């Protein structure tokens, strides 16, 4: 394969990957301005934040299925086109409902892009070029994590919140152009269907309805009341869908999924990924509001505040493998989760000072802990059978995104509950929100801390380390996205 075609494939994958990763972090900083201009209520603003990861997590397995059946290249191009058009729709939205609808379509497009991108890197590049490609996509996602809040702050302050979505139009068009130029790969014997293609559409439908109903219950509950008919009905639907999903996943024809959950590292990785999403995602959402509404920072300054998280992660990441070999994956991962929980508590304490300087150490600690926790996800994905590596990546990504949706709603419910209690006790709006924000941080710290014994259990040594092949490299990309 020529070097030019390899570069073209890399560009066709890196551009949409950067675009979707950027969009996962770029909107939080713009939300206060969006709320003011579109007159969004508390529930509407939460929906604007969670609808993207909600649809993304719901359709990730479907995206993987389409990549296997329709084709990797076709699925990638379809996802990019879908994402680009819906981004333009977000930029011209004149009401909260329109914005939420197009934001949901963005998530559906991203759900096609992510699994197709990994599949292209895994199968359409020669083996010698794959390591370079995986390093490039890792750097791309890390850059999106670092740049997202900053880009959002600058653009929101100087060009308006609409530009945050409009930026995807040129990126998407460039991705489509490069994708169409890349020659179609020839068919290979390895393209035959694998057990990962046996997922039924019922699983996708049940997962989507369960997530949507649970998110509605947690987001609308504080305002409507948890015993109101719509909220109670959504709770019943969530439970019924979860029971149906559990039944589907344990049926004989889905034995492939049961095979995934045999290794202890995979179970532990799924549990900690769930706890991570429940905690850190909600913290990012409310920290953006606290920085602008509580500390009075401009969108640009608020975006710059998140840089210590990404920089801390990038600084320590090159040393993780050496540390894991010396002290073991389990202790390093457990220490990372413990540091994340400690960082959340430090942010809670520092937020009382009313100054940005007091919360920066906590944010840096969260970044360091995030990097140390990477071996847990890596080992979990390496423990999956080779022929199920694709569905393992999709399931891991879906759990991360889904838990992020519920995390924003769960931490938000705690913030709202404590905020209302503080307001009823006579606190002003600023102090009431601060009390709720600190309570949300403490809840998040407890959830992350619960993952410490899980990490030690999942990665307990048995005279050697689990081994995975080179084919697992692309799966590690998702571990670089703390709190999307």
Q: What is the pLDDT of residue 418?
A: 92
Q: What is the pLDDT of residue 342?
A: 94
The percent of residues above 90 in pLDDT, for the chain, comes to: 11
Q: What is the pLDDT of residue 123?
A: 67
- Type and span of the H or E element at 55: helix 42-69
Torsion of CA 349, 355, 357, 362, to 10 degrees: 30
Cβ–Cβ < 8 Å for 466, 268 = no
Residue-wise pLDDT tens digits, 68-93:
677 778 888 899 999 999 999 999 98
From the list 199, 177, 60, the residue with the least C-alpha distance to 119 is 60
Cβ–Cβ < 8 Å for 297, 291 = yes
For 337-352, what is the mean pLDDT? 91
- Following DSSP, what letter does each residue of 56-96 receive, concatenated? HHHHHHHHHHHHHHT-HHHHHHHHHHHHHHHHHHHHT--SH
Q: What is the pLDDT of residue 131?
A: 55
For 234-244, what is the mean pLDDT? 88
Residue 470: pLDDT band (50, 70, 90) is very low
Q: What is the pLDDT of residue 210?
A: 80
Q: What is the pLDDT of residue 465?
A: 43
* Cβ-proximal residues to 160 (8 Å cutoff; 6+ apart), any chain: 33
Cβ–Cβ < 8 Å for 434, 423 = no
Read off the pTM: 0.67
> How far, in Å, CA of 434 to CA of 440, rounded?
10
Of 139-153, 167-181, 233-247, the least confident: 139-153
DSSP 228: S
Instruction: Say which residue the tokens 């914005």 belong to.
Output: 99
Cβ–Cβ < 8 Å for 412, 285 = yes
Cβ–Cβ < 8 Å for 204, 64 = no
Residue 386: pLDDT band (50, 70, 90) is low
> How far, in Å, CA of 265 to CA of 377, rounded?
8
Of 84-88, 156-160, 200-204, the least confident: 200-204
Both structure tokens of 15: 């551009």
Instruction: Say which residue the tokens 């990012």 belong to.
Output: 284
Q: Angle of helix 264-289 relative to helix 3-38, nearest 10 degrees?
A: 50
Q: Is 71 left (phi over 0), alpha (psi -120 to 50) or beta?
A: left
DSSP 184: P
> How far, in Å, CA of 475 to CA of 378, rounded?
8
For 50-57, what is the mean pLDDT? 79
From the list 403, 401, 382, 341, the residue with the least C-alpha distance to 475 is 382
For 438-458, what is the mean pLDDT? 91
Cβ–Cβ < 8 Å for 153, 302 = yes
Both structure tokens of 228: 């109101």
Q: What is the pLDDT of residue 181?
A: 66
For 121-138, what is the mean pLDDT? 64
Residue 136: pLDDT band (50, 70, 90) is low
Q: What is the pLDDT of residue 156?
A: 82
Cβ–Cβ < 8 Å for 52, 103 = yes
Number of Cα atoms under 13 Å in the Cβ half of residue 22: 26
Of 2-16, 359-373, 407-421, 428-442, the least confident: 2-16
Cβ–Cβ < 8 Å for 422, 435 = yes
List of E strands, 327-391:
none
Cβ–Cβ < 8 Å for 279, 445 = yes
Residue 256: pLDDT band (50, 70, 90) is low
**Mean of the per-residue pLDDT values of the chain:** 77
Residue 102: pLDDT band (50, 70, 90) is very high
Residue 190: pLDDT band (50, 70, 90) is very low
Q: Is the pLDDT of residue 241 over 80?
A: yes
Instruction: Say which residue the tokens 């977000």 belong to.
Output: 90
Q: Is the pLDDT of residue 313 over 70?
A: yes
Backbone angles phi, psi at 258, to 5 degrees: -65, -35
Neighbours of 162 (CB within 10 A): 18
Backbone angles phi, psi at 404, to 5 degrees: -65, -40
């Amino acid at each position: 394969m020529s070097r030019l075609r390899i570069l073209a494939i890399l560009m066709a994958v890196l551009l949409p990957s950067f675009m979707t990763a950027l969009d996962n972090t770029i909107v939080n900083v713009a939300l206060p301005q969006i709320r003011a201009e579109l007159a969004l209520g508390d529930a509407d603003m939460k929906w604007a934040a969670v609808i993207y990861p909600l649809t993304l997590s719901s359709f990730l397995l479907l995206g993987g299925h389409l990549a296997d059946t329709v084709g990797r290249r076709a699925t990638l191009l379809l996802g990019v086109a879908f994402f680009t058009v819906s981004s333009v729709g977000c930029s011209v939205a004149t009401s909260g409902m329109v914005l939420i609808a197009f934001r949901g379509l963005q998530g559906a497009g991203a759900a096609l892009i992510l699994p197709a991108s990994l599949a292209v890197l895994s199968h359409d590049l020669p083996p010698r070029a794959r390591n370079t490609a995986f390093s490039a996509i890792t750097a791309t996602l890390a850059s999106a994590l670092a740049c997202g809040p900053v880009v959002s702050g600058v653009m929101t302050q100087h060009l308006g919140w609409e530009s945050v979505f409009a930026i995807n139009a040129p990126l998407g068009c460039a991705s489509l152009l490069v994708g169409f130029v890349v020659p179609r790969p020839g068919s290979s014997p390895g393209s035959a269907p694998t057990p990962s293609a046996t997922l039924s559409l019922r699983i996708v439908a049940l997962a989507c309805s369960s997530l949507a109903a649970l998110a509605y219950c947690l987001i609308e509950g504080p305002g409507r009341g948890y015993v109101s008919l719509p909220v109670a009905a959504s709770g019943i639907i969530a439970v019924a869908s979860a029971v149906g999903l559990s039944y589907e996943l344990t049926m004989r024809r889905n034995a492939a999924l049961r095979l995934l959950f045999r290794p202890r590292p995979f179970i532990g990785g799924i549990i900690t990924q769930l706890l991570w999403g429940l905690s850190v995602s909600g913290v990012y959402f409310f920290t953006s509001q606290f920085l602008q509404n509580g500390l009075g920072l401009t969108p640009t300054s608020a975006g710059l505040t998140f840089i210590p998280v990404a920089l801390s992660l990038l600084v320590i990441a090159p040393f993780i493998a050496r540390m894991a070999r010396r002290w073991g994956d389990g202790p390093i991962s457990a220490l990372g989760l413990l540091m994340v929980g400690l960082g959340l508590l430090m942010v809670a304490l520092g937020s009382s000072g009313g100054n940005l300087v007091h919360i920066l150490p906590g944010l840096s600690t969260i970044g360091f802990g995030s990097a140390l926790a990477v071996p847990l996800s890596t080992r979990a994905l390496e423990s999956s059978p080779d022929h199920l590596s694709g569905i393992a990546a999709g399931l891991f990504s879906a759990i991360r995104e889904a838990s992020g949706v519920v995390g924003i709603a769960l931490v938000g419910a705690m913030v709202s509950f404590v905020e209302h209690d503080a307001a009823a006790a006579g606190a002003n709006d600023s102090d009431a929100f601060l009390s709720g924000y600190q309570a949300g941080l403490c809840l998040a710290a407890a959830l992350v801390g619960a993952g410490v014994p899980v990490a030690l259990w999942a990665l307990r040594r048995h005279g050697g380390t689990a081994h995975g092949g080179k084919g697992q490299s692309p799966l590690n990309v998702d571990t670089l996205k703390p709190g999307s």
